[in-house]
Amino acid sequence: MKKSDGTIIGISIGSRTIGLAMITKDELCDWQLLSFKTKWSQEKKEEILEKLLSYMTASKAAQVVIKVPSYVYISPSTIDIVQSLENALIHLSIPHKKYSLHDINSLIQELDTNNKADQILRSKELS
């Protein structure tokens, strides 16, 4: 992933607990967990979206990255939240991407490989 000048909001979506992370200038600035214990309803979905959009607005999000559960484990309520969030982000013109845990692990391995290659090249330059 390339470096970003704006604030990136990372969201780990669930229907009961949602994790948030704010990254600015490639540094983790803030993180929090939001809990929603009530049964699934339209009101609960609206409460979740309101809190997420409020956080993104307050942090002046330039990009949003959404970690979604594996499609084997994803509930209809989580799908509903993700779809509604994506629609809101499109309406607000905030770029966003969705990743599964598998996608994220692949990106981390790729970054680790690139970092190791950089370290090898730097060590050869110093020799």
Tell me the per-residue pLDDT of 44-101, one tens digit each, with 9 for 90 and over: 999 999 999 999 999 999 999 999 887 667 788 888 999 999 999 999 999 999 988 8
Domain count, the chain: 1
Q: Is 124 helix (H, G, I), strand (E, B) or coil?
A: helix
> What domain range is 85 assigned to?
7-100
Can you tell me the distance from the alpha carbon of 112 to that of 110, in angstroms, rounded to the nearest whole number? 5
Is the residue at 26 inside a domain?
yes
- For position 14, which CATH number holds? 3.30.420.10
What are the φ and ψ backbone dihedral angles of 63, each rounded to 5 degrees? Answer: -150, 155
According to DSSP, the residues that pair with 61 across neighbouring strands are 7
Can you tell me the distance from the alpha carbon of 111 to that of 114, in angstroms, rounded to the nearest whole number? 5
- Cβ proximity of 80 and 13 under 8 Å: no
pLDDT at residue 33, as a whole number: 95
Report the predicted TM-score, pTM, of the whole model to 2 decimal places. Answer: 0.76
Q: Which of 100, 104, 48, 97 is nearest to 77 (CA)?
A: 48
Is the residue at 63 inside a domain?
yes
